[in-house]
Chains A and B, each alone.
Chain A
Amino acid sequence: MWNFLGSSPAIEVRMRNTLLGETYPRNGGVMAVLDTGYSGFLLLPTKIFRALRLDELMSRKSVAWLADGMKIEMKGAVGSIEIPGLGRTLDGMVQTLEGASEILIGMDGIRGLFVQLDCCNRKLYAESCEPSSSEQEGD
């Protein structure tokens, strides 16, 4: 269970560049806003994207379609979200765009989770409803 961050639901996470062995933050976790209006996996400020050395991986460009109709090009590379409270790791396309100032978890970042938003008590509950992608048999 997590409390809202300001007016937004948020989850404590750690981010990982699994391919290059980099983690952010190195100790503990950070609060990431759950943004159900974002269809992607994870959006990071450019500073954190670089700290994770995700810019060293070959990036895949995509386009962000904003709610006001504007389209902006985004950089992306594969990475992982760890949710310590659930003991769960999810892999997906981590994105960044110039000016991003928050860590946002999108709809793809909560796949396999059963999420309840309690706006009466400003709390977010989440539970895993499928095995962690990093727990699945890999070989």
Chain B
Amino acid sequence: MGVITLKIDDELEKRLRVRVGQIYGAKRGSISASVEEAIRTWLLKVSTVKQEPRLFVAIKQNKRVAEAPNLAALSKKLAQLNVDPRDVIIETRPLPPLVVRMGLRTRSAGE
């Protein structure tokens, strides 16, 4: 088992000890277990993002006139080309699915 000596805010330490005591009691190793769980959650959060980059493509009369990784950059390119954004079809790559799933929202019948 690795050993790390940590310096943390007094208030945070107090909150940690109180909460760990409430959940696990005075069991030996319970603070280490809770810190280990927090480290696992943090590592998951900062793990490498595996997402396909997105591209926005402006198409006019079936021809690509501009493309950019975001709309701000695409807008700039269209302005430079003197193309009105209303005259182009803008598609995203990869193409989004044509069918979008919608969840079911519920409210009381009186609303």
Contacts and interface: CB of A to CB of B under 8 A. Distances in A.
Tell me what chain A mostly uses at the interface: helix, strand, loop, or mixed: loop
A6 to B, nearest CB: 9
Interface string B85-111: 111111110001111111111000000
Interface in B21-66: 45-46, 49, 51, 54, 56
Given A19-B71, A62-B96, A63-B98, A36 B103 contact: yes
B105 A139 contact: no
Contacts, number: 119
Contact-residue size bin, chain B (C-beta under 8 Å from the other chain) = 35 or more
A57 B69 CA distance: 19
Contact of B45 (A19, A67, A114): A114
A85 interface: no
Contacts of A67: 101-104
B86 A56 contact: yes
Interface of B: 45-46, 49, 51, 54, 56, 68-78, 85-92, 96-105
Given A67-B104, A133-B70, 16 more contacts: A19-B85, A19-B90, A35-B105, A37-B102, A39-B97, A58-B89, A62-B100, A64-B101, A65-B102, A78-B71, A79-B71, A93-B96, A112-B51, A133-B69, A136-B69, A136-B70
